[in-house]
Amino acid sequence: GAGVSQSPSNKVTEKGKDVELRCDPISGHTALYWYRQSLGQGLEFLIYFQGNSAPDKSGLPSDRFSAERTGGSVSTLTIQRTQQEDSAVYLCASSLGPATNEKLFFGSGTQLSVL
């Protein structure tokens, strides 16, 4: 499709398990963002990839969270040893360039539930 694709759309896991969330950005978009949104809350920035530059990981809440972007395209967000407070919608977004200048396109998100 032409939009940002995220998978899975829903993920239920047990506390302590690892999970991987996938994001396929729009082709040609150099910037990729991960955000987290808890129920009734705003978007919390997690990590930002821009081209071949080192990613900005300043928003990752703990060392249990990591992300990579292979070949400047697909990105995977990994959460190790999940905790109940990790339950949220994880949103991926991409833009042609830095989002300060370009429109952000969001995927439909992954709803993560940690039991």
Partner 1 sequence: RKEVEQDPGPFNVPEGATVAFNCTYSNSASQSFFWYRQDCRKEPKLLMSVYSSGNEDGRFTAQLNRASQYISLLIRDSKLSDSATYLCVVSGGGADGLTFGKGTHLIIQP
Whole-angstrom Cα distance, residue 97 to residue 99?
Answer: 6
Shortest reach from residue 81's CB to partner 1, in Å: 25
Name residues contacting partner 1, limited to 18-37 (CB under 8 A).
33, 35
* Cis peptide bond prior to 61, omega within 30° of 0: no
Shortest reach from residue 72's CB to partner 1, in Å: 18
Q: Of the ranges 13-21, 63-71, 79-87, 94-102, which one interacts with partner 1 (CB under 8 A)?
A: 94-102
Gyration radius of the chain over CA positions:
13
* Cis peptide bond prior to 55, omega within 30° of 0: no
The tokens 């972007």 sit on which residue?
69
Shortest reach from residue 38's CB to partner 1, in Å: 10
Among 7, 13, 76, 108, binds partner 1 (CB under 8 A): 108
112 contributes a contact to partner 1 by CB under 8 A: no
Q: Which of 59, 64, 115 is nearest to 91 (CA)?
A: 59
Residues forming the site for partner 1 (CB under 8 A) = 33, 35, 41-43, 45, 48, 56, 58-59, 91, 98-101, 103-104, 106-109
